[in-house]
Amino acid sequence: MIKPMTPIIVAVGSIRLPKLQGVRQAFADFSAHVGGGLRFEVVGVEVPSGVRDTPLSREQMMTGARQRAEALMQLPRAKQERWTYFVGLEGGLDVIQLPCQRPSQRLVLLENWAYICDRVGNGAYGQSGAVALPEELAARVVDDGLELSEAIDVFADSKGVRDGPGAWGVLTGNLVTRQDAIRLSVINALSALLR
């Protein structure tokens, strides 16, 4: 009798379904790309990012993603878990002042970042791409200090958007959902980590 392959455990610093599904899909796509046969099991654990709820710069998003992955790395030693990969995810806004604009204008981009590391500590970042926020929504978050999750619910006249298509889905007419953006950021991080 052939024993099924032991799954490779991937710990994710979140328990939100779109994040976990995005990571599952990214690792499944990676497995298929390298010839299949690898089995991954994704485990979600809530850990702090150390940054504000809606980061307002690329640096904050990257810091939050890395700090989530590093926080996960501390958990297995205490729990005796056998995790192989540690995934930190952070979404937020990158606020850019556009050059040569009079008066000064800004571009506010929604981005997702992933940081993946292995047990040894090798790590890599991946980014989702970006979509611009309309100024009305950007003003609510950047200027008024409202969290993006609250502002997007008001903007979309809905509730719980972040647990579904997310701001990505609202801004792209569901051509790109939150899960899709997370999947892409994880694939980009995996590609950098494992090349």
Tell me: cis bond preceding 99? Omega within 30 of 0 counts.
no
Rounded to two decimals, the pTM is: 0.92
Outline where 34-172 has alpha helix (H). Answer: 58-79, 135-138, 148-156, 166-172
- CA-wise closest residue to 88 among 74, 107, 109, 101: 74
Q: What domains sit in the chain, N to C, each tagged with a CATH number?
A: 8-193 (3.90.950.10)
Q: How far apart are CA 173 and CA 176, in angstroms?
A: 8
User: In angstroms, what CA-CA distances link 47 with 29, 64, 67, 88, 116?
Assistant: 26, 10, 9, 9, 15
Q: Residue 85, by phi and psi: left (phi above 0), alpha (psi -120 to 50) or beta?
A: beta
Dump pLDDT digits (tens) for 4-58: 578 899 999 999 999 999 999 999 999 888 776 788 999 999 999 999 999 999 9
Please provide the average confidence, as pLDDT, over all residues in the chain: 91
